[in-house]
Amino acid sequence: MTDTVGFWKLAEEDPGRLALVDPSGAEVTYGELDAAANRLVHGLRALGLTTGDGLAAVLPNGIEMVSLYFAAMQAGWYLTPINHHLVGPEIAYIVQDSEARAFVAHERFADVSLAAADEIGFPKEARFAVGDITGFRSYDELKDGHPASAPPERRTGGVMNYTSGTTGRPK
């Protein structure tokens, strides 16, 4: 992956530039977003994720989802965003079918996310919560103690979207 254009180039050239305003009103700069994404890459790699792996997320729009996206985009992972309007079994199906190796959920969606993770026996060490969800580790653990520096061996990642399709089952 080259840094000739795009997010990483902007983060390097103008780290103090406003990148986004979180729904809470918090302002986040390119430098802060870059550092968060880099820490997530280091944290998820320490968890064992490698190029080609997937992660699933039931998150609202905000800094956590955007930083997770940029982490996946530079680590060669597939990020599967999951609609929070789905019920536990539908979320479970997507997490399992996408072969996610990490699952991140927001406490606003605790009931369905916990039900989904438990239904498929998703490993407790790979469950992360923004906020508090019983049986999930803190999302901040993925970043804490990890460097803000760009990860070595950058690889282009992607997004894997699921739709309801015509069968009534996400695909």
Q: What is the pTM of this model?
A: 0.89
Q: Quick one: pLDDT at residue 1? A: 45
* pLDDT reported for residue 163: 79
Predicted pLDDT at 169: 59
How far, in Å, are 49, 50, 122, 149 from residue 46 at the CA level? 7, 10, 18, 15
> Residue 72 has what pLDDT?
96
pLDDT per 10-residue tile (average), the chain, 171 residues: 67 92 92 96 95 96 94 95 92 95 97 96 96 96 91 89 67 54
Residue located via tokens 């606003």:
108
Give residue 23's pLDDT.
87
Beta strands in 6-142 (DSSP E): 18-21, 27-29, 54-58, 78-81, 100-106, 127-130, 137-138
HSE-up of 53 (CA within 13 Å, CB side)?
A: 17
Query: Measured between alpha carbons, how far is 130 from 12 in angstroms, rounded to an integer?
Result: 27
Q: Are 70 and 57 in contact (CB under 8 A)?
A: no
